[in-house]
Amino acid sequence: MKNVGKFDQIFRVVAGLAFLSLFFFLEGGLQYLALIGVPLLYTALTQQCFLYRLFGMNSCKVKS
């Protein structure tokens, strides 16, 4: 069941890539904070967000 809409999906891709790019610019333990981009990209590609499902949210426009 898809619960991530088009705008949300585009935002997640952009934010995910931005976070992952920080991996190359940060040093030490802060470098691994950039891995937050991985779940953002995963949810954008699959259009399924566990937190949205947990809270009953849906940003996907479903045609009936």
pTM for the predicted model, two decimal places: 0.84
What is the chain's mean pLDDT, rounded? 90
Whole-Å CA distances, 28 to 25, 32, 35, 36, 37: 10, 8, 13, 16, 17
pLDDT band (50, 70, 90) for residue 11: very high
Is residue 4 within 8 Å of 50, Cβ to Cβ?
Answer: no
Tens-place pLDDT, residues 39-53: 999 999 999 999 888
